[in-house]
């Protein structure tokens, strides 16, 4: 996850150096990119939480069947 974030930030920085634009356009693009990254991070967190819930529920079912 950290590698993805670092790569994205590096890409944004290189993009700014190679193709400078008006400040307002650059801010809009950066805002959009950061929002995309935020959404991707939230999706990853949601997926991780769902996987953890499934693993816990599975372990509970196995524990209950082992004691019955």
Report how far residue 45's alpha carbon sits from residue 51's, in angstroms, rounded to the nearest whole number: 10
Q: Is 80 exceeded by the pLDDT of residue 16? A: no
Average pLDDT over residues 36-49: 91
* Residue 56 pLDDT: 95
Contacts of 20 (CB under 8 A, 6+ apart): 26
pLDDT bracket for residue 57 (50, 70, 90): very high
Label residue 11 by pLDDT band (50, 70, 90).
confident
Query: Tokens representing 53?
Result: 């819930």
Print the domain residue range for 41.
Answer: 2-67
Question: What pLDDT score was predicted for residue 14?
Answer: 81
| Average pLDDT value for residue range 51-68 | 91
The structure tokens listed for 48 are 């991780």
What average pLDDT does the structure give for the chain?
85
| Domains of the chain: total | 1
């Amino acid at each position: 996850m950290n590698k993805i974030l670092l790569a994205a930030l590096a890409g944004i920085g290189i993009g700014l150096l190679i193709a400078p634009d008006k400040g307002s356009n650059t801010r809009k693009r950066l805002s959009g990119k950061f929002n995309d990254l935020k959404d991707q991070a939230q999706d990853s967190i949601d997926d991780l939480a769902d996987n953890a819930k499934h693993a816990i529920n599975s372990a509970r079912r196995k524990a209950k069947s082992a004691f019955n």
